[in-house]
A and B are shown apart, each in its own frame.
Chain A
C-alpha cells in the first residue's frame, strides 16, 4: 500500500486535494473510514480485504464537501457509485480525485473520467459471487417460505435507517419515510411498517443499486436487506440489460424506457 500512501501524500502536499478519504485501523483494530487532511497522517492509510465500506457515501455529506477537493480511495463499487452520483448530478468529477484500487488491491491510475469509465466497462458488474449464491438459495424457496423468511428477518428491524445512511445512493436530504403528508410509511417499527420500508428502499434503488452490499453490512441487527436490492439489480439486467453506475449520463432504468420492454403479466 506504499503507492497509495505516496500518492495521497503527494496530492495533499501539492494541494491538489484538501482531504483524502481512505481506510485506517481504529484503536480496537476495526477498519474504518479515515479523513486525512495532513500529509503527515497519510501513513495511517491502509488497504486490504477488510476495507469494504463504500466510501462514496461521504461525497455528498456537507461537512466532508466543505473540506474542499476530495481524493477518494475507490474500489469498483465506489467508482460505480461515483458514476451514479455524477449521472444524478450530485457531484461533478472535477470535485474529486479517484484513487482507484483494482480487485487485487493494486493502485490504479485513474487519470480522468474516461479512464474510470474504461475500468468499469471491462469489470464484472454482476452481483458479488457470495451474494449470488445466497440469492439463488432464496429463489428456490416457495412463495410461502419466502414470505416467512423475510417476515422473520424484517421483524428484527428497528428502523435505525443504517441501511439508508450507509448507501451512497440514498443521498436525499429528505427520505420518503420522513414525509408525513401523507405518512407513507408508519413511523413505528412493526412487522408491516418494516416491510413497507424495505420495499420502498429496494424500489428506490431499482436500477440504481451498484451491489456494494453496504446496507446489509451496516445493519446492526443483521437483516440481509442488501439481497433485496441485489435481486432487483439482477432483474434490471435480466429485463433491460443495464447495470447501474456505468455511465455519467442519466441511464436509470426507472426514468427511461424502451417501447418494446417485455413483460408477461400485464393482460
Chain B
C-alpha cells in the first residue's frame, strides 16, 4: 500500500476555489500532486453524475469545492449545489457508498493556504482508505458477469 498514489479529481468553481488554487500557486505553497482540477463556472454547474463518472473511471477520491455561502459569483449557484450535495450524500449513504471519499468544501479566492490544506487532508485520508476497490470491482463486475454467461 506504500506505493499507492491515489487519483483524486477536484471539481471546482472558477471564481472562488479555482482562483484560490491559483493563489496557492502564486504563494508557492506546496501540496500533494494527486489532485487534478476540473474547472467549472460555478458549483451549481457540477452535475452529480460527474462524481459517479469520476469514480467509475477510477478516481479514489473527489473534492468538490466552490465559493463560501453568500459569496457565489452568480449569487446562488453554491446554495443550489449545497442542496444537491445534501441529497446526494443522503442517497449515497443509504446505498452504502463511501462518502468519506468525497470532500465537499468552500474555498474562497483568498484562501490559497486553505486549498493546500483541503488537498493535503483529502490525500492523507484517501491514502489511509486505500484504493477504492469496491467501486472498481463494481465497474469490472459487469465484465465478469458477461464472462460468466459467455
Contact = CB atoms under 8 A, between A and B. Distances in A.
Contact of A144 (B82, B94, B96): B96
Contacts of A188: 142
Interface string A52-67: 0000000000000000
Max chain A Cβ within 10 angstroms of own Cβ: one of B87, B99, B139: B87
Interface residues of A, number: 48
25 contacts: A146-B95, A147-B134, A150-B96, A176-B49, A184-B49, A190-B141, A192-B139, A192-B141, A200-B49, A206-B91, A207-B87, A228-B91, A231-B91, A253-B87, A254-B80, A257-B79, A257-B82, A257-B83, A258-B79, A259-B70, A261-B82, A261-B83, A263-B86, A266-B85, A266-B105
> What DSSP secondary structure best describes chain A's contact surface?
helix
Interface in A191-225: 191-193, 195-196, 199-200, 202-203, 206-207
A22 B98 CA distance: 44
Contacts of A146: 93-96
Contact of A191 (B82, B104, B118, B138): B138
Given A263-B86, A267-B106, 13 more contacts: A139-B94, A191-B138, A191-B145, A192-B138, A195-B138, A199-B91, A200-B49, A203-B91, A228-B91, A254-B87, A258-B79, A265-B99, A266-B104
Interface of A: 138-139, 141-151, 176, 184-186, 188, 190-193, 195-196, 199-200, 202-203, 206-207, 228, 231-232, 235-236, 239-240, 253-255, 257-259, 261, 263, 265-267
B4 to A, nearest CB: 21
Contacts, number: 113
Contacts of A191: 138, 141-142, 145
Contacts of A231: 90-91, 94
B19 to A, nearest CB: 18
A153 to B, nearest CB: 10
B97 A147 contact: yes
A144 B70 CA distance: 37
Contacts of A192: 56, 138-139, 141-142
A206 B92 CA distance: 13
Tier of interface size on chain B: 35 or more
Tell me whether chain B's interface is mostly helix, strand or loop, or mixed. helix
Nearest to B136: A192
Most buried by B among A176, A199, A207: A199
Contact of B87 (A141, A144, A196, A232): A232
Contact of A190 (B52, B76, B99, B145): B145
B147 to A, nearest CB: 12
Closest 6 A/B residue pairs (Cβ): A190-B142, A147-B96, A146-B96, A257-B79, A235-B90, A266-B104
A148 B96 contact: yes
A240 B134 CA distance: 32
A40 B86 CA distance: 52
B74 interface: no
Interface in B50-80: 52-53, 56, 69-70, 76, 79-80
